[in-house]
């Protein structure tokens, strides 16, 4: 029987690569997307387009109003997204406990589907400032999953949290994704997109642009003028 996996699919470059990776590992991939009060609803459309291109089921979209929690430039209209400055420390675009929340919902969906594998695009290289993108976080969440669930308590299986991009550079992620057949033109990474495309100046745009350069792959991103 094909093993099922729940994959966090945001519509960004990293998660598209992870979805293709899980598929190539032989999993039946179930994409999960969040509408979490982020400024950029365009992400959800990108997630749907990526799933379609990879031949995956339509992503389940879970609405979650993290705006009521606040504290991040990505969910709080009162905070500006920084431009042209890859700074030190934990950036203002960090959403408190975001990956914890997303993986928790993914865990619930996995229980319902009878899946024991969760995939997400954590990366400790480019997102070294994000506490929930480190191996220690992945290990702690996996330990939690194995005591938190009916499936684990009843002995039906053990959960594994996969973060295959953890130690890769953006260029390595892109090269791997191209080999796996990802169409990066469908993905969106910008923290502050305009109607015409990506801003080209936020942290995420800067990392993405540099990644394509370093990978020697033409950048398919549509930038706003």
Residues that bind a second copy (CB under 8 A): 60-66, 68-71, 90, 94-101, 103-105, 107-109, 111-112, 131-132, 134, 136-137, 140-141, 143-144, 147-150, 152-154
- For a second copy, the closer of residues 49 and 97 by Cβ is 97
Q: Pick the closer one to a second copy by CB: 56 or 103.
A: 103
DSSP E strand boundaries for 122-172: 160-162
Q: How far apart are CA 133 and CA 123, in angstroms?
A: 6
Question: Which whole-number Å values give the CA distances from 208 to 31, 167, 184, in the listed order?
Answer: 22, 16, 11
In this structure, the strands spanning 4-8 and 160-162 are unpaired
Query: What is the C-alpha to C-alpha distance for residues 162 and 118, in angstroms, rounded to an integer?
Result: 6
Closest CB to a second copy among residues 59, 211:
59
CB of 24 to a second copy, least distance (A): 26
For residue 12, the minimal CB distance to a second copy (Å) is 20
Nearest approach, Cβ of residue 91 and a second copy (Å): 10
Closest approach, Cβ 118 to a second copy, in A, equals 11
Residue placing its CB nearer to a second copy in the complex, 30 or 162: 30
Which one, 60 or 210, has the nearer CB to a second copy?
60
CB contact at 8 A, 187 and 171: no
Please state the closest distance from residue 4 (CB atom) to a second copy, in A: 14
Who's near 70: CB < 8 A, 6+ residues apart?
Answer: 76
How far apart CA 114 and CA 175 sit, in angstroms, is: 32
């Amino acid at each position: 029987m094909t093993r099922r996996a729940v994959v966090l699919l945001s519509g960004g470059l990293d998660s598209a690569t992870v979805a293709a990776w899980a598929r190539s590992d032989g999993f039946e991939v179930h994409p999960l997307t969040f509408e979490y009060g982020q400024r950029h609803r365009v992400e959800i459309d990108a997630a749907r387009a990526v799933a379609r291109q990879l031949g995956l089921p339509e992503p389940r979209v879970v609405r979650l109003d993290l705006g009521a929690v606040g504290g991040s430039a990505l969910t709080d209209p009162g905070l500006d997204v920084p431009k042209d400055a890859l700074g030190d420390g934990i950036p203002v675009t960090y959403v408190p406990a975001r990956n914890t929340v997303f993986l928790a919902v993914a865990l619930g969906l996995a229980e319902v589907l009878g899946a024991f594998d969760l995939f997400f695009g954590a990366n400790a290289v480019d997102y070294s400032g994000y506490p929930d993108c480190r191996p220690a976080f992945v290990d702690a969440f996996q330990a939690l999953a194995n005591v938190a669930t009916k499936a684990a308590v009843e002995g039906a299986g053990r959960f594994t949290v996969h973060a295959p991009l953890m130690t890769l550079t953006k260029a390595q992620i892109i090269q791997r994704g191209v080999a796996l057949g990802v169409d990066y033109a469908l993905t969106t990474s910008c923290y502050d997109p305009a109607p015409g495309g990506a801003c080209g100046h936020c942290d995420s745009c800067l990392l993405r642009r540099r990644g394509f350069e370093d990978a020697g792959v033409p950048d398919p991103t549509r930038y706003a003028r």
